[in-house]
């Protein structure tokens, strides 16, 4: 059984602050216990404000995050070059990486400019090598920070797509017919293996899907976010009050 904690903030700005805090604490805890923090982040638009807070010299986070002990990964990427407007890497670079002392060799991006199967295989190798995995071992990220689409997708695990059935890889290419595109994504068993797994979700556009994912019937083919059931037994949701409007009051 997974215990789900809903942390609802009054505004998107306050939600982003809660996420920056969670990121900073998870990085600090991991660096202190293991000398290294491995964090996988999402793309889309929601994390941008959190990245801005992490990089802001007027905020406490920039000084608190152990940047020299951080390895940064992505949960998914669009199949576009890294300078494309759609690139998750590009958004992160502009909002965060260009402003914080994180060495380039500790930033592990998915290569959206390559053929999807090649990019996925190369990212799986990158993870195997940097985590020093052996045989069939799979990675344990210290924090996996997810977003959720209004169709219930998370990472690039879209409804009714092949990647939902993928149990044996760490990273896969995923064809997304509803967007007529390919994506590269971590697989859901790997996401679930994270020490900490959290969703950051805001806005009225997510109200209904949050209700359906957490209060509706279990139909992961329809709402892939329902596959996220961390092995740690703990799932955290950072929400603004608009997104949380159809969840039961705490």
How many other C-beta atoms can be found within 10 angstroms of the C-beta atom of residue 239?
Answer: 25
147 vs 159, beta carbon nearer ligand 6PG: 147
For residue 141, what are its two tokens?
């990220």
Residues making up the chain, counted from first to last: 250
31 vs 42, beta carbon nearer ligand 6PG: 42
- With CB under 6 A as the contact rule, which of the stretches 74-82, 169-177, 210-218, 220-228 interacts with ligand 6PG? 74-82
**Phi, psi at residue 132, to the nearest 5°?**
55, 50
- Distance, CA of 168 to CA of 98 (rounded, Å): 35
Q: Would you give the binding string for ligand 6PG spanning residues 86-105, x where CB under 6 A is met? A: --x-----------------
77 vs 124, beta carbon nearer ligand 6PG: 77
CA distances from residue 79 to 39, 42, 180 in whole angstroms, order as listed: 21, 15, 11
Q: Does 154 bind ligand 6PG (CB under 6 A)?
A: yes
**Phi, psi at residue 184, to the nearest 5°?**
-120, 135
Is there a contact between 11 and 45 (Cβ–Cβ < 8 Å)?
A: no
Name which position in 24, 42, 49, 87 contacts ligand 6PG (CB under 6 A): 42
Q: Does 76 bind ligand 6PG (CB under 6 A)?
A: yes
76 vs 142, beta carbon nearer ligand 6PG: 76
Q: Would you give the binding string for ligand 6PG spanning residues 44-73, x where CB under 6 A is met? A: xxx---------------------------
Pairing mode, strands 196-201 and 143-146: parallel
Is there a contact between 15 and 169 (Cβ–Cβ < 8 Å)?
A: no
Name which position in 19, 27, 155, 197 contacts ligand 6PG (CB under 6 A): 155
Contact residues for ligand 6PG (CB under 6 A)?
A: 42-46, 75-76, 78, 88, 147-149, 153-155
């Amino acid at each position: 059984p997974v215990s789900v904690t809903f942390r609802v903030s009054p505004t998107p700005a306050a939600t982003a602050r809660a996420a920056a805090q969670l990121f900073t604490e998870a990085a600090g805890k991991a660096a202190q216990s293991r000398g290294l923090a491995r964090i996988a982040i999402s793309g889309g638009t929601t994390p941008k404000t959190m990245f801005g807070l992490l990089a802001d010299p007027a905020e406490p986070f920039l000084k608190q995050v152990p940047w020299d002990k951080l390895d940064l990964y992505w949960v998914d990427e669009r199949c576009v070059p890294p300078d494309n407007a759609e690139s998750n890497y590009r958004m992160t670079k502009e909002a965060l990486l260009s402003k914080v002392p994180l060495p380039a060799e500790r930033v592990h991006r998915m290569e959206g400019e390559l053929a999807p199967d090649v990019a996925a295989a190369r990212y799986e190798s990158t993870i195997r090598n940097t985590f020093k995995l052996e045989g069939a071992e799979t990675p344990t990220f210290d924090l996996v920070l997810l977003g959720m689409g209004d169709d219930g997708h998370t990472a690039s695990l879209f409804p009714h797509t092949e990647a939902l059935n993928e149990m044996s890889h760490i990273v896969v290419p995923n064809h997304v017919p509803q967007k007529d595109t390919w994506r590269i994504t971590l697989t859901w068993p790997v996401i679930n293996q994270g020490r900490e797994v959290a969703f950051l979700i805001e806005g009225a556009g997510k109200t209904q899907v949050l209700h359906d994912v957490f209060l509706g019937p279990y139909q992961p083919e329809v709402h892939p976010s329902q596959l996220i059931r961390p092995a740690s037994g703990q799932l955290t949701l950072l929400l603004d009050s608009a997104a949380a409007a159809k969840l039961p009051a705490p």
